[in-house]
Amino acid sequence: MDVKSINNNWLNLGRAITLVENNYEEGKQLLQQLSFETQTPVVGITGPPGAGKSSLVNGLITFLLQNNKKIGVVAVDPTSPFNYGSLLGDRVRMSDHFNNTNVFIRSIATRGSLGGLSAKIYEITDVMRHAGFDVIFIETVGVGQSEVEIAGLADTTAVVLVPEAGDEVQTLKSGLMEIADVFVVNKSDRDGADIFIKNLNALVHQKPSSNWSIPVIKTIAINGTGIDKFWEGIEKHNAIKENKEHQILLLVEKAWQLIQNEKMKQVNKHALMNDLKAHIDMSGFNLYQYIKKYFN
């Protein structure tokens, strides 16, 4: 498959993603054709479960379609650690836009990744950058502070919170606080929203000075309130050129993740489970001795 064949062709793009996601040789060859000069902005939408991330993405799509934008969405869905199945919920969460010719929505499973993303998200995003979109949104699972890896992927990271998180606002400094380029307080019509936003603004101002002042935006996703301000914040951040050192740090993080995934690809969880079943009842079983065979 040629890179040019995926430009504005959703059928070919879907096939390309499948090739990459399943580690087929044709997918590997496609990745090596990619140009890293493509500037399509990638926006990560992250935050705890129940914050309304999907509703916000839905609202952003509606807003951008009014301006004839072409939008790509990657919705990362959780994989069960017990049966390895995944509820790929794009049709449910964004059903209003699923058949729109200017919108491409793809759900992918985490497949055991702990950081709120899929192991193949880097490759899939790079492929989508070549498909002719004006913007690409990546919605994470929402598993808490371990999803900070989104910062190594997205050009702009939006952290979505709700007023009920007010009691936990101090803990944000060590996790999501560090990765946010834009804060969104969704469901801001609820009690305590104004106090929460005031406290969040105070924390934002405690960050070291930089060329970007992090906005805190109020939204009510279900009726579209604040969506225009949310997009305005994203656009303003995208217009800022990160310094070379920051770009290199992000590239190092991306390369490290890709190398780690490649090194781990020979470890299959299904096979591991079956093998452990055969060993766990043996006399003197020791987990650390057992895993040594994977270190070679």
Provide the pLDDT for residue 174.
56
Provide the pLDDT for residue 162.
92
Structure confidence at residue 246 as a pLDDT band (50, 70, 90): low
| HEC string for 63-111 | HHHCCCCCEEEEEEECECCCCCCECCCHHHHCCCCCCCCCEEEEEEECC
Same domain as 55, residue 166: yes
Same domain as 205, residue 180: yes
CATH number for the domain harbouring residue 116: 3.40.50.300
Take residue 61 and report the two structure tokens written for it: 């799509």
**Which of the 8 DSSP states describes residue 9?**
-
Same domain as 274, residue 162: no
d(CA 251, CA 2): 25
Provide the pLDDT for residue 228.
97
Same domain as 118, residue 186: yes
* Lateral strand order in the sheet of 135-139: 103-109, 71-77, 135-139, 42-46, 156-161, 182-185, 216-218
pLDDT tens across 165-192, in order? 655 565 565 566 677 889 999 999 999 8
pLDDT tens across 209-239, in order? 567 889 999 999 999 999 999 999 999 998 8
Per-residue pLDDT at 285 exceeds 70: yes
Provide the pLDDT for residue 90.
44
pLDDT tens across 132-143, in order? 999 999 998 665
CA 91 from chain centre, in angstroms, equals 18
Q: What is the count of structural domains for the chain?
A: 2
Same domain as 141, residue 275: no
Same domain as 86, residue 35: yes
Structure confidence at residue 146 as a pLDDT band (50, 70, 90): very low
CA 45 from chain centre, in angstroms, equals 6
Same domain as 291, residue 240: no
Same domain as 276, residue 154: no
pLDDT tens across 36-61, in order? 877 899 999 988 888 899 899 999 99
Largest CA distance in the chain: 67
284: containing domain: 269-296
Q: Residue-wise over 225-234: b if at least 16 C-beta within 10 A, else e?
A: bbbeebbebb
Structure confidence at residue 194 as a pLDDT band (50, 70, 90): very high
Same domain as 168, residue 22: yes
Range 273-280 average pLDDT: 90
pLDDT tens across 75-134, in order? 887 654 444 444 444 445 566 777 789 999 998 875 544 444 557 888 999 999 999 999
Same domain as 76, residue 30: yes
Same domain as 161, residue 281: no
Look up the pTM and report it. Answer: 0.82
Same domain as 57, residue 180: yes
Provide the pLDDT for residue 232.
97
